[in-house]
Amino acid sequence: MVREKYPESCPWDLGPRQKRSEDGEWTLVNGSDFVKFSRNQDNHHWFNINRNNEIFEQYLAYKARLTYQKLLDKGYKLKGKG
């Protein structure tokens, strides 16, 4: 069985070296495709994931981390503030 790569850090993690943890939304882009991650406001153990403003899903935090890593592996990049 192949183990999924678990990211060491995500932009929403807390810690002294994290500069984006307080952002309300984190967007990964790859060309014209994008995926937005945001914490569920009612339960911080869940994340809302929106793909190209079309597909909306909710994942538990660990699954959101795995999804984030899979997207990075596919060439997506974290969009900077602005």
- Residues forming a β-bridge with 60: 46
Cβ contacts of 74 within 8 Å, gap of 6 or more: 30
What is the three-state SS of 16-74?
CCCCCCCCCCEEEEECCEEEEEEECCCCCCEEEEEECCCEEEEEEHHHHHHHHHHHHHC
Give me the tens of pLDDT residue by residue for the chain, a chain 82 residues long.
666 676 778 888 877 777 777 788 999 999 999 999 999 989 889 999 999 999 899 999 999 999 999 999 999 999 986 4
In angstroms, rounded to a whole number, what is the distance separating the alpha carbons of residues 31 and 49? Answer: 18
For residue 1, the model assigns a pLDDT of 64
